Structure 1
Amino acid sequence: MIDDCQLSFPCLLVCSRFTKLLLMAIAQIFKQFGAWFPSAHQKIKAQADELGDKLKGIELDPIPPTNLLRLKQAVAELKTPLPHQELLRAQLSKAINSWSEGAECDNAMVVLASPVEAISTVFWDTLSSSEPIEGLTRQWLPWSERAKNYTIISQLEESILQPSQGERSLVVIPDLSWCFLRCVDGLQGIERLGDAIFSDRSRFWLIGCNHWTWLYLDRVCQLGNLVGVKTSIPPLSAIELKEWLTPVWETVDIQWREKSEGEEEEPQENWCCSEEKRYFEQLEDVSEGNRAIAAEAWLNSLGISPPPEEEEEEEGENQTRENPDQPWLVDRPSIPELPSLTKSDRFLLFSLILHGSISLPNLCLTLGEGESATQTQVQKLIRDGLIIRRPGNSGAAPRFAINGIYYPRLKRDLDNNKFLVGGEYKC
């Protein structure tokens, strides 16, 4: 006869092993879920954003072209938001103090920004309104765009790479993308700058760069080993976007939705009404706090109420009427969907993001393509709205850049297609 204990002991061993295996399996499931959830969350959010854009609340007629042009010019003249200026001043002061106190402390600092935000204007606005740092002369790279490739090194030598003779100075490079091209011999300017940063300890180097360019240059030139101090231009909150846009916003008489009968408006600090607060929170969301994208989305959301159907019939198909007293309204801010892109389109757009803005001859160099074929492709993407043309300075060739309003979707598309995509707001 078998004892109960003889039966129960093997059973306990089996149960113990089963329980251990079960717990290990559950732990593995949770580990896989933890790895999957962030990417799934991003995909779900992206799909929800696209669905929300398609389900916008109202259809508005566009504002008159003359008014739109005036507003675009006014937005272009806005100064860098104060939070960004304050951040740059504080970080620069901290880095220079450390450099001054220790012989082996970092003598260079890079400020990273989104590819659609002009980092050079952040530098101009901030440093031009700042008091000179005692004991430091200030040396600017006196460019406003990329030099021709064969003169980049010579112009760098003439402007900021002359021997300092021991005089302590702050060297400002507003946009590092001006100093290179992604082509054969196109990195010589970056290599020369790297040599200067390493060898000349009497200078502190302040460098502006977009995230994508920095990621690329760090991969191919290991710049991160030479520039140890990094900071990023952070996203703006809803209220910061409103404060930045206020000089232009106040010139537009926006009519918000009328409250329903019996609906009470709760007082909102910093906001004229709950509708305004909701609008800027949506603007912050779709623009990811990027002021360049937010400005475009704001302009695109402005409109006027379409006339009643009977008035449209009276005006006729070929007539338009502008009523200066007609109130302006705002639609839900949104960003447009990308048109269909080919592999060749993606390589061209990636090159534009990497270089900020670029002339057609230099774009051809980065792509290794002929000018005729590249010109045809650029014109197609201009027609699709993905590329904008900017006049060159002092009669130089025009520059081409991506249209900032498409940047969030374009970044996602290039990331999905295995391009080297820079990560904003991370150092």
Structure 2
Amino acid sequence: MTAPTSPPARRTRVVVVGGGQAGLATSWFLVRDGVDHVVLEAGTAGHEWADTRWDSFTLVTPNWHCRLPGYAYDGPDPDGFMTRDQVVEWLAGYAPTFGPPLREHTRVTSLAESEDGGFVVEAVGPEGPESWAAEAVVVCTGGYHLPIVPPWAPAVTRAVTQIHSADYVAPDQLPGGGVLVVGSGQSGAQIAEDLHLAGREVHLALGDAPRVARFHRGRDSMTWLAEMGLYDTAVAQYPGGATAREKTNHYVTGRDGGRDIDLRRFAVEGMRLYGLLEGLGADGTRLAFRPTLRAALDSADDVHRSICRDIDRWIETHDVPAPPGVAYEPVWEPQEEPTSLDLAAAGVSSIVWAIGYRPDYRWVRAGVFDGTGRPTHTRGVTSVPGLYFLGLPWLHTWGSGRFLGIAADAEHVTGHLTGRAGPALTEPASALARRVSPAPAASSVALAG
């Protein structure tokens, strides 16, 4: 029997892998510049916003952050927080504004350098295998691929249901009884809150995630930080440089108009808090925790206060009108450091793992990865000519993995790809913050006082 042959390669100048916000932003610039390209998307454009967010999800950044090249949120509430479904609807309106050459339901299976220069991209589309030959490839698949769970998770008693935060939808998807949420980053803290508000008994194992005030001095903290230039500051300029990429994002929520997430308040209301989860006993039901609860709470509060002080200094230095701040005072202190939890005795029937993801670029055959499997690059430009990455957390700035920073990074990458020179189209976040969500007026400050 004759072995099946590969389909003849279709030729294009650029293949963009991924049709989320990063891939679409890349395509916008390529369409503008008249560059022949194709966008290959495994599902549908922007599908991950619907597939990996829970029912009550809201953005943790203000709506005015939602902007892509040639397209920005223009609704009635720039300082509010869109729900999951509103984000999906907003993002769905983007592609029709410029008509990207998008091939949906086309999963890329391999990317390799070709012998005669350029790249060969293999994919499986609706009609079967297909191959693309391109001068350049922009990988826009994000940095969150494989959900992380502890290697010993399969040894947990089968009486306990286990899911990853990527698969969490709503409290009623879990069996009755208590729920252990492991991880206190953005997803873990918000899922714990969602379960808590639904009346579930929640146990939360904390990591080292920091927290931030939702509002300070009459304005959203992230708007202050944007005006202060933090979303425009390159990662190399942060203390520790590229190590900033490893930091966990601050937990906060946009739910019900936005508010702080105060784990101490949850404890007062009955949530059980623990330190870092360390392991599982031989019986498959008893978990061990490190005595780090108090340190984790104190550290998160220290970051909260530090950010508020930074905002205060900015206000004073630039003589910005703003109402006085309110100092945070802890509402609860742990009386002990719990170091164990018997799942059966405590009635815990479910575990939600919210401890992150690891990258999976096994389909990319190019020498651009470090020892952890992450691509090495300078603002998305790799050492392999013609190979780029976009949409990664901290690709260049704090905003790189978010709507707010995508346009600037896409403009940089496509400019490098095409050799196009000229003034940047993308407005800095600091200028946007002043224009779209200005500081409180003097009259409102007087009224607040």
With normalisation by structure 2, the TM-score equals: 0.20
Instruction: Name which one, 1 or 2, has greater alpha-carbon Rg.
Output: 1
Structure with more strand by fraction: 2
With normalisation by structure 1, the TM-score equals: 0.20
